[in-house]
Amino acid sequence: MKTCVYDMRTSTGETLSLSLSMSRQYRAKGKYPEAYAACGKVIMGGLDDYMQIADVLYFAYICAAMDNPDNKIMDYPEFLDCIPDDVNYVNNLYLRITGRKKTEPSRNVSNSGREN
């Protein structure tokens, strides 16, 4: 089975793997229920706060890392230190792994409020 795995460049230049495949989420759900719930809240309801992007990235990191027995899963604060400062990079990574599209301003001129 081929699984989508994305690379995240860390603040130190290393690379971490991220995945939100359903099978990995299913396996991670029982071991990391808080991370699963935080990610699921965003996936199902959207973002309320920019920091929630970190919740999604963290759970995607857990999903990718838990299959490797040599990996020690970082805790959340440690993972936050790894996220690069490049806001555009982080936002684009979030959009890619969740399958969301970047929203663009509407090019249609609204007629609301205009008199005919």
Long-range contacts, 33-42 (Cβ 8 Å, 24+): 35/59, 35/62, 35/76, 42/98
What confidence score (pLDDT) does residue 68 get? 79
DSSP state of 112: T
Q: Where are the domains of the chain?
A: 6-98
101: pLDDT strictly greater than 60: yes
| 7 beta partners | 17
Percent of the chain predicted with pLDDT > 70 = 84
Percent of the chain predicted with pLDDT > 90 = 67
Amino acid residing at 5: V
Burial zone of 52 (CB within 10 Å; 0-12 exposed, 13-18 middle, 19+ buried):
middle
What confidence score (pLDDT) does residue 67 get? 79
Q: Using alpha carbons, select from 27, 103, 34, 38 the residue that is nearest to residue 67.
A: 27
The mean pLDDT of the chain is 85
Tens of pLDDT, residue by residue over 28-39, are 999 999 999 999
Please provide residue 7's backbone torsions phi and psi, each rounded to the nearest 5 degrees.
-100, 135
Tens of pLDDT, residue by residue over 63-99, are 999 877 787 899 999 999 999 999 999 999 999 998 8
Asked whether the whole model's pTM tops 0.85, one would answer no
Give dist(CA 105, CA 72) in Å, integer: 42
What confidence score (pLDDT) does residue 1 get? 45
